[in-house]
Structure 1
Amino acid sequence: MCKMLKKQKANQQKKKISSTVRVDVERLEYLMNLVGELVIDQTS
């Protein structure tokens, strides 16, 4: 039983390391621009 738990834990750690998300740079720039505008709007 203990060996099985160790294997499951190792598999979960592998999944966490290998998960990535690819995002287009233009979308990131657009999002950053929107966040900047929200910050400016809230401070004025």
Structure 2
Amino acid sequence: MDGLGLTMLVVPKTHAPWLEQAAAHAAKIGEDAAREQHAWLEG
């Protein structure tokens, strides 16, 4: 997996929904930051 640039995280099944929610939130924050940076560069 390391050769493919991948990492595996093994957690209890009960933690999966929380981790999925956290990942979605982090992705949204990243998209918002990219939009703000783009707007600033065009500014």
Q: TM-score, normalised by structure 1?
A: 0.49
Structure of greater Rg: 1
Return the structure number with greater helix share: 1
Give the structure, 1 or 2, with the largest relative contact order (CA under 8 Å, sep 6 or more).
2
